[in-house]
Amino acid sequence: MTEVILHIYDVTNSASDKTNNTVLQINRFFKDGIGLGGIFHSAVQVYGDEEWSFGFCEQGTGVFSCPAGKNPMYSYRESIVLGKTNCSIFKVNQILRELSREWPGFLYDLLSKNCNHFCDEFCERLGAPKLPGWVNRFANAGDAAMEMAENTALRLRQAKTEIVSASKVAYRFLAGVASSSNSPESPGSSSRESPRFQSTWFKNIVSIGAKPSSNSGVECENLEVTQQQQHEAIRRQNSSRYEAA
């Protein structure tokens, strides 16, 4: 058995000293002050003097190694012994070859597939405990917020689709009533609208609802015109019926 060691860095690779100082202040407050988390880079050391991590690149694998605790891109913070692994050095090398194929650099994502996610996956395959929650808590919280926003947008699109579908079903029902009602009107039904007029009126409503305008003012104006046309059609229809009577 051999130890699995996690090396943690403050992410201070910005070209701006102001940004780097802000990251250090955030980490001191949220991690050192209240134990919540921070903005960290991590790498795993197992067998030898190299640490392994993951980063962005346009081509090839994003898995890379460097001397343990000496990544020049970040500010070294601390090391944590996560536990031990039963894997042989041969097995560890096999796991690293697999991870190198599965983690291409272009898939790097700050919130959902970063260096801390890689270290978690590496530790899991080694049979060692995963990273402490505070190491990647900020990224996990951001990823959860993004997922919630995407789910909300999806539900809104689904609701809109269901409303339009329901409108079309209702229109087809009214159209069926109109086609099956070919008998002449009885004297007592002269004050009601004809099924054909009802279905035409509902078709207009569906068309208006299914094609939202980018200009709300124009849409309201068109709706008012449509309503005026409908009222005028009803008035003319009732007048002709009264005259025929």
Q: What is the pLDDT of residue 111?
A: 82
Domain count, the chain: 1
Q: For residue 110, tell me if it sits in a domain.
A: yes
pLDDT range class, residue 19, cuts 50, 70, 90: confident
pLDDT tens, residue by residue, 189-212:
444 444 454 555 445 544 544 444
CA–CA separation, 40 vs 144, rounded Å?
18
Q: What is the pLDDT of residue 29?
A: 86
Q: For residue 243, tell me if it sits in a domain.
A: no
Residue 117 has pLDDT above 80, yes or no: yes
Q: What is the average pLDDT score of the chain?
A: 75
Q: For residue 41, tell me if it sits in a domain.
A: yes
Residue 142 has pLDDT above 50, yes or no: no
Q: Which residues contact 51 (CB under 8 A, 6 or more apart)?
A: 5, 7, 43, 44, 45, 65, 66, 67, 68, 69, 71
- Could you tell me the CA-to-CA distances from 152 to 15, 148, 158, 199 in Å, in that order? 36, 6, 10, 34
Residue 45 has pLDDT above 80, yes or no: yes
Tokens matching residue 98: 């697999």
CATH of the domain at 84: 3.90.1720.30
Q: For residue 196, tell me if it sits in a domain.
A: no
Q: Position of tokens 């004050």?
A: 191
Residue 130, domain extent: 1-146
